[in-house]
Amino acid sequence: MNAPFQPAAQPNAQTLTTGQVLQQLSSMLQTLGPVTGTETLPLLDALDRILAQDVLCPVNVPPHDNSAMDGYAFDGALLARPPCAQELQLRVVGTALAGRPWQGRLQAGDCIKIMTGAVMPEGLDTVVPHEQVRIVDDEHIRFAAARLQAGDNRRLCGEDLRQGAVALARGQRLTPAALGLLASLGLVQVNVRRRLRVAYFSTGDEILAPGASPREGAIYDSNRFSLQGLLRRMGAHVLDLGVVADEPAALEERLREASALADVILTSGGISAGEADHTRAMLQRLGPVQFWRIAMRPGRPLAVGLLQPRTPALLTEKNASSALPAGAGSSAKQSKSLVTSHPAVLLGLPGNPVAAMVSFLMFVRPALLQLMGSSEAAPVPLQVAAAEPLAKRPGRTEYQRGIVERGADGRATVRTTGPQGSGVLSSMVSANAIIVLDDAQADVQPGEMVSVLLLDGLI
């Protein structure tokens, strides 16, 4: 990460649109820059990591002309000669297998039997599929010449990738297909950006750890698991810092610890709105922090800031683990080379479970991808017909949990999962999509087209 940034000035009283939030976050993080550390990994260990630099193709792919299917290879020029308007008869003089090129000599009217992927012998440029061939005898075949053109069913050398071209660009996420492509170049390892370190803790006196005895007015901490699950799916190195009570001194100490350990601090609960004056004052001591109000549902508050880390000399790697709370997860305690010297980005989410998850998907996810150095594009909404009336008040963006399904007529439609309260976490379990109703949208009638984001790939 590069030099510190100062968040753009934003009056706390102003309500932002979702588009303004994304724009301001992106501008702030662009000044900060992505993580700069890299590591070189074997291909199978690099799945879902972010490529640190362009990969140039060291060879042509494929490295030679080869057959695209099983059949018979011949000189395509024969197709233009009479009596090729009828059937063409060729003499079979050999066989080429994948990995075992045919080395013989050819005469006019000869062909060879060839398997998919086998090298095309010099002088042969066309393959007739075996299912189009009629066997005349042990040495001859016939086929309808009119069904083919010269060059059919041949893969050209370098058709996929040319030597020296960019095979994969910096910032690309290494999917299974990308790993396969790297392997096709003969590479055994790849340089990737280090994992983004994200410290997470929940806040609130009412929060109970799963397994604790119930008490009146308390709730179990679902956010710690749903949000950390989202972070892990993104490939972040998650530092689990447990739960912090609504006590300014404890909160300040945890934030100072987290800012020395992580690139990003993610929280859920009252910190998102700076609910108390002493909370706001404490946060401002740690660095510039803003409390945004967003015209959206579910969700509304979002805390965004930059916290200066504790002096590295005061928090060494040896005592960083011992400084973590007893309730912190093992991922935090076992982490190596944790101590950082750069500012940490603070992202404070609302405490209601659905609001926290939706805010993560809409704002935190793109912010983290930017900090990871990822070039991954924003998901493209699909247009789907509403299967039922959708109540919507203009003036805010709503993210309703939906189920996309195919009707008897084959058309895709979307309906809500049911009650849409920000605490109804079961709606996120049932949903396979988020229905996005923008600021200007009013009530939706059945059959009207709405935007949906499919959750597959997002969570």
- Average pLDDT of the residues in 224-238: 96
pLDDT attached to residue 7: 43
- The model's pTM is 0.83
State pLDDT tens for residues 25-59: 999 999 889 999 999 999 999 999 999 999 999 99
State pLDDT tens for residues 410-419: 999 999 999 9
pLDDT attached to residue 270: 73
- Strands in 301-420 per DSSP E: 301-307, 344-349, 382-386, 397-406, 412-416
Calpha distance 202→209 (Å, rounded): 10
Q: Which residues pair with 366 in a beta bridge?
A: none
Coil, helix or strand at residue 69: coil
| HEC assignment per residue over 113-124 | EECCCCECCCCC
- Average pLDDT of the residues in 424-437: 96
List the one residue out of 219, 458, 227 whose CA is nearest residue 356: 227
Calpha distance 34→264 (Å, rounded): 11
List the one residue out of 288, 51, 42 whose CA is nearest residue 167: 51
328, exposed or middle or buried, with CB in 10 Å at 0-12, 13-18, 19+?
buried
Checking if the pLDDT of 328 tops 80, the result is no
Calpha distance 53→56 (Å, rounded): 9
List the one residue out of 245, 323, 294 whose CA is nearest residue 395: 294
Calpha distance 252→244 (Å, rounded): 10
- Average pLDDT of the residues in 193-200: 97
State pLDDT tens for residues 350-385: 999 999 999 999 999 999 999 999 999 999 999 999
State pLDDT tens for residues 67-116: 999 999 999 999 986 555 578 999 999 999 999 999 999 999 999 999 99
pLDDT attached to residue 83: 59
Please, what is the end-to-end C-alpha distance for the chain in angstroms? 26
Report CA torsion sign: 315, 318, 319, 321.
positive
